[in-house]
Structure 1
Amino acid sequence: MDRPVTEIAKRVYDHAWRIDPIVRSMMDTDFYKLLMLQTVFQRNADVEVEFSLINRSAQVPLANLIDEAELREQLDHIRTLRLSRGESTWLRGNTFYGKRQMFGPDFMEWLEAFQLPPYELERRGDQYELTFRGSWPEVMMWEIPALAVLMELRSRAVLKGMGYFELQVLYARAMTRVWEKIERLRALPDLRISDFGTRRRHSFLWQDWCVQAMIEGLGERFTGSSNCLIALRRDIEAIGTNAHELPMVFAALAEDDAALAEAPYRVLENWHRDYDGNLRVILPDTYGTKGFLERAPDWLAAWTGIRIDSGKPEDGAETAIAWWESRGQNPREKLVIFSDGLDVDRIEALYARFHGRVKLGFGWGTLLTNDFRGLAPGDALAPFSLVCKAVSANGRPTVKLSDNPAKAMGPADQIARYKRVFGVGAQVEEPVLV
């Protein structure tokens, strides 16, 4: 395995003295984005969308921390990036989820020439308003790099005043924390866990270090990374399936309530045509897991598994198990992937409850790649909840309900309409940690 060639503390210290691009490759994105991108490119390239930055943690004043000129410089740099020849070769020829040539030649030809479209940036009080408008395949690719830039610029702003030795101690403590978590996970013999930490990472260098620690510490129990660039460089599996973006846009395009009720299933019909095997994983919580499964067609019960991404994860998994049983499926043969706000305590508890009842997978995100809680003065490096979401499609607002109403988004009247159409009753609000 390749070892880090540059000491993290030195690189962070050097940020203050020279331009250091945060996103250096088009491949510094999550694998699920490319899978969704191919589906959108093939079927919905003419849909016009708007994506917007949403800071759920208003107590973090991004515009006070991050210099606007520096933010523009980073975003402008990203717009110069294109796939390298080696990156294109990897996408065209590598085996993903057991399948060669996952990405078709027409899509790859388009992607090789692709560059990100313009952005709109304004300061609103102590926050930034960052917006992307245009065709769906082009605009959707802004989500991951935009989040990566803002998260890392916030980290750099906090670290900028620290001396070299102070940075060394900070990162030594953070490394120790990650390694102690890994040591605890070693006690789970059939663990299958991957890195899902790109979107809200501390920095690219830190995510890469965490992945290397997982490789060494967990061996085959570490199944890969969602980050394509890290997967390529570290010769590990690229991990990911689909996200809320697809049903949110499809629902916004629905002409009436009947079409709205069917929109989430239309998304998965397309996915079923495009992908198979372990890529057939349902994300059911966009408009409420319970109602989604109750109305789901029987062919969906035959899919490989389900990803639990909001609400109480125990409740989501129990609902999925009961649904499979009601549809004549054996839950022991099904995959349940937990991916919402995970840390070691929760991973251990979920493993203890569901091990042997289903096939388990864990997508470990922010609290793997950005757990600096209590390590900086004033806890200024604590992780926070920043997202970049589709907010409209062909001029119509998008809506997300979630199993946790704290994560709901969209105009109030449309949220009420969606709750009526999808039969979402009373919900219990859970804290949004990350």
Structure 2
Amino acid sequence: MVDISGRVWSHKWKIDPIVRSLIDTDFYKLLMCQSVFRNKRDTQVTFSLINRSSDVPLAKLIDEGELREQLDHVRSLSLSRGESTWLRGNTFYGKRQMFSPDFMEWFEALRLPDYHLERVGDQYELTFEGSWPEVMLWEIPALAVLMELRGRAVLHQMKKFELQVLYARATTKLWEKVETLRGLDGLRIADFGTRRRHSYLWQDWAVQAMVEGLGEKFVGTSNCLIAKNRDLEAIGTNAHELPMVYAALAKTDAELAQSPYLVLSDWQEEHDGNLRIILPDTYGTQGFLQRAPAWLAGWTGMRIDSGDPAKGAEEAIAWWTSRGEDPTKKLVIFSDGLDVQKIVELQKQFAGRVQTSFGWGTLLTNDFRGLVPQDRLAPFSLVCKAVKAGGQPTVKLSDNPNKAMGPAAEIKRYKRVFGVSVQTPIEVVV
């Protein structure tokens, strides 16, 4: 097992680059990328870094030269032969050849496009512009680079034994969480922590701890590189990015109202019988379910990613029941800001009523809260989102208004089109 504190102490970035591979990313990005490659290949999209935690001054903490070095390293990466073989030949979700030959030929030739970086006050403005399937693959590595560089800035100030004590405490903290989850009947849980991880080495260690501590209750990781190297299931389906871009491309209010379902129609055509998980909250779960076409009720399950998770699961159960479906045969995936206490609570609340699974993210792979003075290693809310598509701004409403994004006038229009009224703000933890 890697001595992480020793590696941090003696680290040289060319030995431990923050992003080591183009598949050091989340599985859902590759699945979505293939869908975009087939359906919207020439769409021009802009992604932008958004620091929701404005009290974390990234431009003061992270050296611009070091940031550029790491981003340039990401641009130098391409698929290795072994990575290509794994993607082409592995079985994902029971399906061989999940990735088509034409997509793989494109991906094997890919180098990520250029970026735009400038300092604005105490923050960095980092954007990526270009064809959608190319620039979308910047999201995860960009977040991983910023998160880890911020952590390295703190770790660089610590001495050798301080680092050893820090990682001993973090290791104990994580293992105690694993021990709590070990006794939870019926648990199914996956690692969703790539984008805001403490580091690649720490995420890899956390995954190994879950494998050893939870056995079959740990169902896999969203990180493709770790899944490949550790012979684990790669976990993931789709995300808010798809409906946000499809909606921005809509030319009328009527097209806008139908855009979330057009996304899923394209998805179903591509993955017939597989990966049929609904993510309903981009423009409000309640309205989405009320207007949903009949064929969506037959999908496998639903992911709850904003708002009150228990309320979201109750809405899902009620909707399936109203459509003549048996909720006990459906899957609810919880994935928003989870930690052990909430996982235990939700599992016990919905056991026997619906099948449950948990995508455990930042507080699995980056919970260093309370371990250094001033809490300088506490995780914070950093995202990289599609902010423009086809020349038009994107909008996300969410079930939590604190996660909403887009120009005020467009948010108002989207709320009218999708029938979203008063929402209850919930603190965004990570």
TM-score band w.r.t. shorter chain: over 0.9
1:235 equivalent among 214, 231, 235: 231
Gaps of 5+ in 2: none
Q: Which among 175, 190, 203 is matched to residue 207 of structure 1?
A: 203
1:228-267 pair list within 5 angstroms: 228-267=224-263
Instruction: Give yes or no for the alignment of 1:46 onto 2:42.
Output: yes
1:148 and 2:144 are equivalent in the alignment: yes
Give distance in 2, aligned partners of 1:424 and 1:73. Answer: 44
1:299 aligns with 2:285: no
Whole-Å Cα distance in 2 between the matches of residues 16 and 229 of structure 1?
A: 21
Match of residue 59 from structure 1: 55
Deviation at 1:107, TM superposition (A): 0.3
TM-fit CA distance, 1:229: 0.1
2:193 paired residue among 175, 193, 197: 197
Q: What SS does structure 2 have at the residue aligned with 1:130?
A: strand
Structure 1 residues 91 and 19: CA distance shift in structure 2, 3 A: closer
| Contact residue 16 and residue 160 of structure 1 kept, 8 A | no
Aligned to 1:398: 394
The equivalences for 1:253-402 within 5 A come to 253-402=249-398
User: Which residue identity lines up with residue 413 of structure 2 in the other structure?
Assistant: R
Aligned residue type for 2:120: R
Question: What is aligned with 1:217?
Answer: 213
Does the 8 A contact of 1:15 with 1:156 survive in 2? no
Instruction: Select between 76-85 and 277-286 the one with higher mean Cα deviation.
Output: 277-286
Report the Cα offset of residue 187 of structure 1. Answer: 1.1
The answer for the alignment partner of 2:168 in structure 1 is 172
- How far did residue 16 of structure 1 move? 6.4
**What is the rounded CA distance, in whole Å, between the counterparts of 1:274 and 1:354 in structure 2?**
31
TM-score (norm 1): 0.98
Q: 1:18 to 1:412 in 2, by over 3 A?
A: same
Residue type of the partner of 1:215? V
Which structure 1 segments of 5+ residues have no match? none
2:65 alignment partner, SS class: helix
Cα deviation 1:312-363 (Å, max 9, x = unaligned): 0001000000000000000000000000000000000000110110010000
Q: Does 1:412 align with 2:408?
A: yes
- Aligned partner of 1:108 in structure 2 is 104
Shift of 1:29: 0.3
Supply the distance in 2 between the matched residues of 1:374 and 1:38 (Cα, whole angstroms).
Answer: 41
Q: What CA distance in whole angstroms lies between the structure 2 residues aligned with 1:14 and 1:78?
A: 22
Query: RMSD of aligned C-alpha atoms?
Result: 0.9
Partner of 1:279, secondary structure, is coil
Mapped to 2, the partners of 1:79 and 1:10 lie a distance apart of 28
Is the 1:306–1:335 contact (alpha carbons within 8 Å) kept by the matching residues of 2? Answer: yes
**2:22 equivalent to 1:26:** yes
- CA displacement at 1:19 relative to structure 2: 6.6
Deviation at 1:377, TM superposition (A): 1.3
Aligned residue in 2 for 1:74: 70
Q: Which residue identity is paired with 2:95? A: K
Aligned-residue offset at 1:24: 1.2
Q: How far did residue 189 of structure 1 move? A: 2.0
SS, match of residue 114 in structure 1: coil
1:60 partner SS:
coil
Distance in 2 between the 1:276 and 1:175 partners?
41
Residues 276 and 14 of structure 1, relative CA distance in 2, 3 Å threshold: farther
**Correspondence 1:429 to 2:418:** no
Quick check: 218-227 or 9-18, which moved more? 9-18
Fraction of identical pairs, as percent = 73
- What CA distance in whole angstroms lies between the structure 2 residues aligned with 1:120 and 1:17? 22
Deviation digits for residues 233-256 of structure 1 (CA, Å, limit 9, x no counterpart): 000000000000000000000001
Taking the aligned partners of 1:277 and 1:105, their CA distance within structure 2 comes to 20
How far apart are residue 17 of structure 1 and its match? 8.2
How far apart are residue 272 of structure 1 and its match?
A: 0.4
Q: CA deviation at 1:20?
A: 3.7
1-structure distance, mates of 2:391, 2:26? 27
The structure 1 residue matched to 2:9, chosen from 8, 13, 26, is: 13
Deviations 1:105-147 (A, max 9, x none): 0000000000100000000000000000000000000000000
Given the alignment, which residue of 82, 86, 95 partners 2:91? 95
Q: Which amino acid aligns with 2:98?
A: M
Task: Provide the rounded CA distance (Å) in 1 between the counterparts of 2:308 and 2:13.
Answer: 45
Which amino acid letter does the alignment assign opposite residue 193 of structure 1? I
Q: Compare 172-181 and 277-286 and name the one that shifted more.
A: 277-286
How far did residue 278 of structure 1 move? 4.9
1:376, CA displacement in angstroms?
A: 1.0
Encode CA deviations 1:277-306: one digit per residue, 9 max, x unaligned.
451000000000000000000100000000
Alpha-carbon distance in 2 for matches of 1:62, 1:296 = 41
Equivalent pair of 1:405/1:428 in contact (CA under 8 Å):
yes
